[in-house]
Structures are given as structure tokens and as C-alpha cells.
Structure 1
């Protein structure tokens, strides 16, 4: 009986000393080093990746999306945008819709994001 108790305590001790990972309710896994694994890409991550602000107009946002690519760390996630496809844009409504393809923490992702509430182009600011 003593042997079983000792073995049980030894197993508990070994398990307590091993590296642990915390699984969050949304399925993300955080390791002891704080790295988020298997994280999903969120719209806010892409706003930060490109540095997009609500005080920018459609043309500015479109230019940023077309020129910025590569690996960046945002919110503890390693994000690499490999390709962007401009689905549509409306300067009068201040909307840009873009499809993103890339990797987040070495996992492929594809996401369509609507950037809205951007500075609208008014009738008086149009070139004739």
C-alpha cells in the first residue's frame, strides 16, 4: 500500500514540474513562455498590423494594405500576410472590403475584413 501511495505522489510531483499549457475557453493555448498557439486572426489584429486608424480615408487604407506585407507580432500572435485581394471600396461611404491570405502562428488563414467608418470622400472633394 505504501508503494502505491509513494508512486502516486511521485507521479503528481513529476506532472507538477512539467511544462504546462493553459487552454483558454476560445481554444487558444498559452504556453509557459506566454506564446499563443493556434490563435485565430481577428479584425483588430489586422487593423494593428496595418496601423489603420478611423481618421484615414479609403485611398490611404488601400495603399497601406497593398504595400505592407511580411511577418509581424501583434497581440502575441505571429502574423504574416502573404496576399491581399481588394474585394470592393466605396469612398463616399468610407468602406474598404479586403480578403487576406496568410499565416497566424504558422497556421494558414483566410479572412475577409470590412474596414468601415473611414473618412468619407464628399462631393466637394472629388476631382472633376
Structure 2
């Protein structure tokens, strides 16, 4: 089996969905799309192609998903073309920069880490410039 992307979907836990939605909409300068189900409320990141792209959402699952700065997987959101633009909005939106823009290698681009308003450690990645 060959994967187009190693990840097909991600969920970022939130305890205050309105606060988390405002944070991500502010730092990415976008609108998240509401999608609520009986047991979980989601605010999805927009996708141009649901079948081939990687999708994800900020979620309030009533406590079964818990924000964490240290436990669990670390996801990297797309900060292209320059993750510094997104990173510059983090603190004003209520988050905290944990690692500034850092070159991985000239071929692999840049990374950074931040703490969101819910207490999640999230990565950013952008391609080489």
C-alpha cells in the first residue's frame, strides 16, 4: 500500500471551542468550518480537495480529547510560504512561541513550535524559501 500522505486527518483538542477557533482563525487568517456531531463539536480547517488532501479540525469532545503541551503526538501544520507570518500572530492571539523559526536543512525548510490557547504544543513547517 502506498500513501499519498502519511496523515489523512488530525484533531486538535479544545476545552473552549470558541476561544480555540478564534485563535486558529487569527493566526492563519482564515475561517474554520463548523461541523457538529452528537458527541463532538468540530471546527474544520478548509480543504481544497477532501479526497487527496490532509484534513483536520479543532475539536471539543466533551473531555475525551484533552489538550497537552507534553503528552501525545506532535503535529505540524502547514505554515507555507513562510511560517514566520503565522508565528508572528501567535502571541497576540493568546498563544506562546516555544521554538522560533528554525532551519531544519536547506532542503527540508523550516520548523517552529507554539503553545495554543488550549495548552496544546503544535508545530509549524514551511518549505525552503
- TM-score, scaled relative to structure 1: 0.35
Q: Which has the higher helix share?
A: 1
| Larger relative contact order (CA 8 Å, sep ≥ 6) | 2
